[in-house]
Amino acid sequence: MTVPTFTLRDGNQIPSFGFGVFQIPADGSTKVAVAKALELGYRHIDTATAYFNEAEVGAAIQESGIPREEIWVTTKLWLQDYAYDDAKKGIDTSLTKLGLDYVDLMLLHQPYGEVEQAWQALEEAQAAGKIKSIGVSNMTPKIYQKFVPNFKTKPVVNQVEFNPYFQQEELRQTMLEDGVAIEAWAPLGQGNADLFQEPVLQEIAERHHKNVGQVILRFEHQLGIIVFPKSTHDERIKSNIDIFDFALSNVEMDAIKALDKGKGSHDPDAPGVGEWLLNAFDVHTND
């Protein structure tokens, strides 16, 4: 199976569909799950320093036998390492843990603290060939306008919460104007039972002989959103990527768009979020 790619504003081709490893433990589970995903045709893996499982992602990639250039690897710098010198070290630490000479995409995981210093470090690492593309995460329109005008180069992606209940209309317009792609975390609503019970989704799924999760992921794909659902179950890993043999009609797309509640589970603009995240945990605990 060949997963379609989207062209980023820097010209790089990113697989539009991938595999996420958020909250998969680094007890061997991440390595097993990533190995299964690669076996089933996934070629885009999304991890982060703050997921504590970069080493297992790297091990699975190295043991897969798949040429490195065929796998898109994303990781993220944690805000604890945003000061310029710390950011340079953090980038190298991620590469070491992954066991890779370069990553395809590195993001600033949270938009707080010394964001501009961290971005400078990403730009320099990109120029040095350590990173192919650079981007941001969890930037609302307000936060984006605060920081990005001060960047020398614009991000190629903004990874944010996105699912049928939270379709980020204002942000999508802002990103469209700047040519920035949107990646979805929680593309399935983090298993929200209400979402999966929506009659319109169930009806569309039945019509296409698909499950509700596949319909949601197909909807997001047709909107041009890059998705990477997470699972540790072989059958779910297999079914999630099986969305390229059907298409939703305009009527079906509009019906799903009507589910938008305009609000997500996380508000990056809320007071105190940055301070809380900075003190939530130490990404160097296991170093």
Token code pair at residue 57: 């992602």
Nearest to 135 by CA among 18, 24, 46: 46
Which residues face 76 on adjacent strands?
Answer: 107
b/e burial code for range 246-274 (CB count within 10 A of at least 16 → b):
eebeeebbebbeebeeeebeeebeeeebb
Q: How far is CA 110 from CA 90, 160, 230, 260, 268, in A?
A: 14, 10, 20, 24, 9
Residue tagged active-site, from 51, 82, 112, 165: 51
Nearest to 230 by CA among 76, 28, 18: 18
Contacts of 248 (CB under 8 A, 6+ apart): 204, 208, 215, 218, 219, 222, 256
| Distance from chain centroid for Cα 207 | 29
Nearest to 183 by CA among 74, 35, 80: 74
The number of helices, as runs of H, and strands, as runs of E, in the chain is: 12, 10
Is residue 165 part of the annotated active site? The answer reads no
Q: Which residue has the tokens 């707080």?
A: 112
| Alpha carbons 129 and 261: distance in angstroms, whole number | 41
Token code pair at residue 20: 């996420």
Three-state DSSP at 264 gives coil
Residues recognised as catalytic:
51
